[in-house]
Structure 1
């Protein structure tokens, strides 16, 4: 069975974006994209680079882990605002939205129904891993389906913003076991956790 991995950049205090959302790696962002960070992603997670970045960096590696990417409506909007209708043309791309009725790109499949049901359907199919790129509301909806967390922890705290998981009510502890970690010279830590 395929597994769902929430692979996402976060601050030390657990935020994936500022209070207004947007791209935290953009010009007004707080995540620094250093050469060692890019080198690590190219070496270990090449399929998670957007198509434009892959082209600019000359990355042609097919990918080592994921063949499917899931994202919420707000995360998808960041790309749309930049004029990109399919940031991951090398992956099967699903966008979960109750407001979009027509996909802006023929390769991007919209899902208006229950995210949990869709993920369970995808897990039952043959293929590679499923990558949850964001956002927080979708991660909250899929909380019980997440098999692995890979956190790119940036050495910055922002005080407030969009948390790793949003729209969850009540406490529902889930145990994870650290399976791998790498601390880059620039200070970003990649930490992988498997659901216990």
Structure 2
């Protein structure tokens, strides 16, 4: 099974403002350009996201993932909201156990979303590839994509990545695709 990341950051490495807002992502708008997101999303068969990401997506006017299975990882959330789509389930498992369970269920490629969730899977050595899309903005503070090992059960260790490709778009957006070396 393959665990993959597709995420946007600011130049200074934040995935959201301190209050969780992602309105700055609109800077990336190019008519007819989705930066490869749909091809990526279509290549995954399950989405695993953290609670904060889930709550942000639930605030959108429409659920963007159709009937794709979604696993929300949270230690604090006791149950899903009543309006959660039926394709969503809740997990409190650690990354290794969750990945093993998803593999046993036959999933081939996992889409990981959410800062703390990505950090925990990275610390566990479970991420196989990443698409990092950097927008030409600095936020100064916010929710970092990569942070020192500050979460429970995290161990900081060096990992090597191979740059597979990069692309610079006319609006200054830089996209880099990496795989674990």
Is the TM value for this pair above 0.5?
yes
Q: CA deviation at 1:133?
A: 1.8
Query: So what's the TM-score if we normalise by structure 2?
Result: 0.82
For residue 121 of structure 2, the aligned residue among 142, 145, 154 is 142
Deviating beyond 4 angstroms after TM superposition, the runs of 4 or more aligned structure 1 residues are none
Structure 2 stretches lacking a partner, 5+ long: none
Q: Give deviations 1:122-181, integer Å, cap 9, x for gaps.
A: 2455444211121x1111211121111110111112222111134724641111000111
Measure the CA separation in 1 of the matches of 2:112 and 2:20: 17
For residue 158 of structure 1, the aligned residue among 134, 139, 148 is 139
Written as runs of structure 1 = structure 2, the 5 A alignment for 1:64-79 is 65-79=43-57
Measure the CA separation in 2 of the matches of 1:87 and 1:167: 31
Q: CA deviation at 1:31?
A: 4.7
Q: CA deviation at 1:78?
A: 0.8
**Structure 2 partner of 1:56:** none
Structure 1 stretches lacking a partner, 5+ long: 50-62
Root-mean-square deviation over aligned CA pairs: 2.3
Measure the CA separation in 2 of the matches of 1:112 and 1:33: 33
Assess, with a 3 A threshold, how the Cα gap between structure 1 residues 101 and 159 changes in structure 2: closer, same or farther: same
For residue 158 of structure 2, the aligned residue among 173, 176, 183 is 173
Query: So what's the TM-score if we normalise by structure 1?
Result: 0.77
